[in-house]
């Protein structure tokens, strides 16, 4: 069924298009505003290696995010790999199966064994109460994820890390701009990693960053991301090429000018979804914590047993209506071939993660959505539900 032919499109404002509604869509500034930045790059011929835009973006992000130090990277995956190198993490690291696969891949790239711990069913974040039982003499760190931008229980995780002398590296790819009790959540733990990929709240086409707390650590990371070079002739570590280019850094500076407006738009979309979808039996809406300023990066809903359709049946019906909602995170990381043989990857030790992986679907959430788009998503969910309820009677 094309979106035009649906009933809601005909009663909605005319922005609705025949394009599918995707779960996310990158925001781009007006092209003409980017041209002066490109002219500067063309004039200076400084394309990378910590040029002026790179330095400006690091400073601007540190101020905007409320963090001491930002180390820009080509992407978050290289940043995760480098953070583990910078902290000399080895052996085993405790992490969550309910995330994007890059979280655990960064461990395997360092020869580290991931140890999966189940999530809290309410927050989708690693359950701190289950971490201690997973600690062994080989454990050196914890790598939690602020899933959907909701802050982890950083206090509980910090206490365990202190007691067992473990490092904490947060995969904060979803948590750009998130505050907890008036503080950036990115200051928790030893390091936090951000992603500026096209699909994220703040994008530089591709990009990422490590947030760290002291200048010496920043300098060490800056060497590591540039092959280990300290000066022209001195290489102090087996570094990698993780540098962000001037092109991406310049774009980031421009994107940062609009970020507050874009976050406000996401907030209003979140509010509209809540108005339209509250009270539907079997659908649990995301409950953002009171004490946090979240970034509305995702709108994950949970399809329970009282809903007349399974999550997967709803996913397919939405797809047929031109709505490309996504089942984040299905499959779990622990189900992929390189992880499923691990003792901690067994299904019975991760019941909450498996349940969430079966029940959650992320609805389209990005600043490019029109009211007509949101109406179409909500009406399609309600239509699917009503239709499924009538089906048994018809049969
Ligand atoms: C997007 C994402 C990454 C990877 O980010 P890239 O910048 O694409 O490398 C890692 N972890 C999580 C949780 C993500 O969502």
Q: Domain check: are 248 and 274 in the same one? A: no
Q: Is 297 in the pocket of ligand 1 (CB under 6 A)?
A: no
Contacts within 8 Å (CB) and 24+ apart, 155-160: 156/128, 156/129, 157/126, 157/128, 157/131, 157/188, 157/189, 158/188, 158/189, 160/128, 160/131, 160/132, 160/135
Of ligand 1's atoms, which has the minimum distance to the CA of residue 106?
10
**Among candidate residues 254, 272, 295, the one where a domain is terminated:** 254
The per-residue pLDDT for range 263-284, each reduced to its tens digit, is 999 999 999 999 999 989 999 9
Residues in the chain, how many? Answer: 395
Domain boundary among the residues 254, 287, 314 is at 254
Q: Is the CB of 102 under 6 A from ligand 1?
A: yes
Compute, in angstroms, the gap from residue 102 CA to the centroid of ligand 1. 6
Domain boundary among 233, 254, 275: 254
Let me know if residue 111 belongs to a domain. yes
pLDDT digits 0-9 by tens, 289-310: 998 999 999 999 999 999 999 9
In the numeric block, the tokens 């939690």 are attached to 144
Give me the pLDDT at residue 2, please: 41
Q: What's this model's pTM, rounded to 2 decimal places?
A: 0.94
Q: The domain spanning residue 358 has which CATH number?
A: 3.90.1150.10
Range of the domain at 185: 31-254
Q: Is the CB of 75 under 6 A from ligand 1?
A: yes
Per-residue confidence at 18, pLDDT binned at 50, 70, 90? confident
Q: How many domains does the chain have?
A: 2
Does the residue 395 lie in any domain?
A: no
**Ligand 1 centroid to 200 CA: how many Å?**
9
Q: How far is the CA of 197 from the centre of ligand 1 (A)?
A: 7
* Ligand 1 centroid from CA 18, angstroms: 29
If one compares 388 and 8, the residue with the highest pLDDT of the two is 388
Residues 157 and 194 in one domain: yes
- The answer to whether residue 143 is domain-embedded is yes
Q: Which atom of ligand 1 is nearest to the CA of 207?
A: 7
**Residue 90 and residue 88: Cα distance in Å, rounded?**
6
Q: Is residue 178 part of a domain?
A: yes
Mutate which of 24, 101, 102 for ligand 1 pocket (most atoms within 8 A of beta carbon) = 102
The CATH number of whichever domain residue 239 belongs to comes to 3.40.640.10
Q: Is the CB of 197 under 6 A from ligand 1?
A: yes
Mean pLDDT, range 196-205, rounded to an integer: 98
Ligand 1 site, residue 81, Cβ cutoff 6 A: no
Span 57-93, pLDDT tens digits:
999 999 999 999 999 999 999 999 999 999 999 999 9
- Give the closest residue (by CA) to ligand 1 atom 8: 197
pLDDT reported for residue 392: 62
124 & 171 share domain:
yes
Q: Are residues 89 and 64 in the same domain?
A: yes
Q: Determine if ligand 1 sits within 6 Å of the CB of residue 208.
A: yes
**281, 155: one domain:** no
- Three-state SS for the chain is CCHHHCHHHHHCCCCCCCCCEECCCCCCCCHHHHHHHHHHHHHHCCCCCCCHHHHHHHHHHHHHHCCCEEEEECCHHHHHHHHHHHCCCCCEEEECCCCCCHHHHHHHCCCCEEEECCECCCCCCECHHHCHHHCCCCEEEEECECHHHCCCCHHHHHHHHHHHCCEEEEECCCCCCCEECCEEHHHCCCEEEEECCCCCCCCCCCCEEEEECCHHHHHHHHHHCECCEEECCEECCCCCECCCCHHHHHHHHHHHHHHHHHHHHHHHHHHHHHHHHCCCCCEECCCCCCCEECCCCCEEEEECCCCCCCHHHHHHHHHHCCEECECCCCCCHHHCCCCCCCHHHCHHHCHHHHHHHHHEEEECCCCCCCHHHHHHHHHHHHHHHHHHHHHHHHC
Residue 12, pLDDT score: 42
């Amino acid at each position: 069924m094309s979106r035009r032919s649906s009933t809601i499109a005909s009663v909605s404002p005319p922005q609705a298009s025949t394009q599918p509604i995707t779960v996310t869509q990158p925001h781009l500034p007006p092209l003409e505003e980017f041209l002066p930045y490109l002219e500067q790059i063309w004039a200076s011929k400084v394309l990378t290696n910590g040029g002026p835009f790179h330095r400006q973006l690091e400073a601007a992000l540190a101020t905007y995010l409320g963090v001491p130090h930002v180390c820009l990277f080509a992407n978050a995956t290289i940043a995760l790999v480098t953070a583990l190198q910078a902290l000399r993490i080895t052996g085993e690291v405790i992490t969550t199966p309910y995330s994007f696969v890059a979280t655990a891949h960064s461990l395997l790239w360092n020869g580290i064994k991931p140890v999966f711990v189940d999530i809290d069913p309410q927050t989708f974040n690693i359950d701190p109460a289950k971490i201690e039982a997973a600690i062994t003499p080989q454990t050196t760190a914890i790598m939690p994820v602020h899933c959907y931008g909701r802050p982890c229980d950083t206090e509980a995780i910090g206490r365990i890390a202190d007691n067992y002398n473990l490092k904490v590296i947060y995969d904060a790819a979803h948590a750009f701009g998130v505050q907890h009790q008036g503080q950036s959540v990115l200051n928790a733990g030893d390091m936090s990693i951000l992603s500026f990929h096209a699909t994220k709240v703040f994008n530089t086409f591709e990009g990422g960053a490590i947030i760290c707390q002291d200048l010496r650590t920043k300098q060490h990371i800056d060497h590591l991301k540039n092959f280990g070079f300290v000066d022209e002739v001195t290489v102090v570590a087996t570094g990698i090429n993780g540098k962000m280019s001037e092109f991406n850094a310049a774009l980031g500076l421009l994107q940062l000018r609009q970020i507050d407006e874009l976050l406000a738009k996401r907030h209003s979309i979140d509010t509209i979804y809540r108005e339209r979808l509250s009270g539907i039996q079997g659908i649990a809406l995301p409950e953002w914590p009171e004490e946090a300023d979240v970034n509305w990066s995702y709108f994950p809903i949970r399809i329970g047993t009282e809903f007349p359709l399974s999550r997967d049946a709803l996913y397919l019906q939405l797809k047929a209506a031109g709505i490309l909602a996504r089942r984040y995170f299905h499959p779990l990381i622990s189900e992929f071939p390189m992880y499923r043989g691990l003792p901690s990857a067994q299904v019975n030790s991760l019941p909450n993660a498996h349940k969430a992986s079966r029940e959650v679907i992320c609805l389209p959430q990005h600043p490019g959505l029109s009211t007509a788009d949101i109406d179409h998503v909500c009406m399609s969910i309600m239509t699917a539900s009503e239709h499924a309820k009538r089906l048994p009677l018809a049969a």
